[in-house]
Structure 1
């Protein structure tokens, strides 16, 4: 009996189509993710380096840094903050900034809410024109309006109890009015887009329950707009608090200047102590940082509104 031995047949490997072959997101994806993280870390360090360098210099003695250089390590002291607070008169200028910033932000947000509510909830032929009129203030540079605004404020007469000069010049209210005029357009534009996204069924139910326009605005719209209002409040506090151009133009007496002008008091006649200026800059930046950290959650929520809708 003969046994026939046959060689097993091996199937030929199939050729893979490069168009239909799926690549596993393994090493390539991890490398790309790592590259993005490295890039963001480098950008963050470049962005934070001036702030961290100023913070480090604010705690160092000027004599030590002049002898050993600014890239040395040592000579730490708190005297710069004490001298900066006294020489710059921060206790007075910060009150001036509060007199300007708090009413300015409050009026800006309230008037912007009123405009946005009208634009978003009422349909009439001047709807877009009204919104464009408010946003037009953001299209022109403030330097181009310097002379007209100055002459207008000098010509407007007000009671002496309202302004010591009898005009809107050298007055907190004049500076507040300018900031409100230039900031209301941006806030009205942002708030109108958010209010348009609110369901109309809510307002229809409110009308059925007998709610008028004012009640819809104060008891329905404003509570729903807290996230964008918090985000805009953070931005407006930063912008109005740091504003220096119109304060230089419209204020004529040094006792009304905001805190941003105090940095000039730290400059010497023959030389400038950079460590002292750095300490003063850190003190000036603290209020805006405190506001940001207090409203951080609301600020992020306001910026990401509608990001997950679709």
Structure 2
């Protein structure tokens, strides 16, 4: 029923596994290593066709400096911060309250409402492109940061609610009953008992939602035009020229755009793993 521990595998199978894992990891990391090396090459070296070899003229800082100073990369970066942080906070705040209500209260339509949250996660975002763009125009939000904040919050709340409802459902209901008997209000139960207990789940969700929103390119392309509200994903694409492209600068911009997500994961790694395994075992 359960996978056999590696120590109990046959020697030949164990050897093949130990050899295949580093090879698979290298294949997976190869594109990222190529981008990292390209971000430290000179334009002349790329023009000569040295794409995969070690850079002859290594410039660890020059391309990153040029990407930040010769383009509005800092402006794009700040737009991404203004979009991502409110979206993460708003989605998790709304989802935690909705998940608490769906997990604790047995009201008519509870199951139907929960099914709606689940079904919303299976709707392809491509079919929503035109309605969402028209709605942003009708509300006067097109090409603004708040358009992306509003729609990211709305789209991520469904997934977060599904995630948190299942976590809250696993909490001992006796804790909530005891707090109610002591005279605690529902808001006090929610803030002082439920939220601290699901903190690993909230941290895991924060990492996931931050990564989803920060790396979004589809909605940024649909709901923005120009540089005013464009996030860093659109900014990296804007580094490409009309006739020629400085791929070293594009690679440097891509690395800079990926750094916040990587830093967020490493900062929250312990909580992220704990949140994903929360409630996986009993006893």
TM-score (norm 2): 0.91
**Structure with bigger gyration radius:** 1
Name the counterpart of 2:34.
Answer: 53
Matches within 5 A, 1:107-118: 107-118=90-101
Name the counterpart of 1:252.
Answer: 225
Conserved in 2, the CA contact under 8 Å of 1:135 and 1:185?
Answer: yes
Q: Does 1:213 align with 2:186?
A: yes
Q: Does 1:127 align with 2:100?
A: no
- The CA deviation at 1:68 is 5.6
Name the counterpart of 1:106.
Answer: 89
Matches within 5 A, 1:111-190: 111-156=94-139, 167-190=140-163
Name the counterpart of 2:3.
Answer: none
Name the counterpart of 2:277.
Answer: 304
Q: Does 1:76 align with 2:49?
A: no
- The CA deviation at 1:151 is 2.0
Q: For residues 41-86 of structure 1, what are the alpha-carbon distances to aligned partners after superposition, in whole Å with 9 as ceiling and x for unaligned? A: 2211111111111111111112123326223322201321111112
Name the counterpart of 2:260.
Answer: 287
- The CA deviation at 1:199 is 0.4
- Supply the distance in 1 between the matched residues of 2:235 and 2:142 (Cα, whole angstroms): 20
Stretches of structure 2 lacking an aligned partner (at least 5 in a row): 1-5
1:275 and 1:206, CA in 2 relative to 1: closer, same or farther beyond 3 A? Answer: same
Q: Does 1:237 align with 2:210?
A: yes
Name the counterpart of 1:266.
Answer: 239
- Supply the distance in 2 between the matched residues of 1:64 and 1:152 (Cα, whole angstroms): 47
Conserved in 2, the CA contact under 8 Å of 1:230 and 1:299?
Answer: yes
- Supply the distance in 2 between the matched residues of 1:287 and 1:274 (Cα, whole angstroms): 21
1:27 and 1:100, CA in 2 relative to 1: closer, same or farther beyond 3 A? Answer: closer
TM-score (norm 1): 0.84
Name the counterpart of 1:12.
Answer: none
Q: For residues 157-185 of structure 1, what are the alpha-carbon distances to aligned partners after superposition, in whole Å with 9 as ceiling and x for unaligned? A: xxxxxxxxxx1222222211111111111
- Supply the distance in 2 between the matched residues of 1:215 and 1:103 (Cα, whole angstroms): 24
1:256 and 1:26, CA in 2 relative to 1: closer, same or farther beyond 3 A? Answer: closer
Q: For residues 167-209 of structure 1, what are the alpha-carbon distances to aligned partners after superposition, in whole Å with 9 as ceiling and x for unaligned? A: 1222222211111111111111111111010001111211121
- The CA deviation at 1:28 is 5.6
- The CA deviation at 1:88 is 3.1
The number of equivalent residue pairs is: 276
Name the counterpart of 2:170.
Answer: 197
Matches within 5 A, 1:88-103: 88-103=71-86
Conserved in 1, the CA contact under 8 Å of 2:143 and 2:228?
Answer: no
Stretches of structure 1 lacking an aligned partner (at least 5 in a row): 1-24, 157-166
The SS at the match of 2:58 is coil
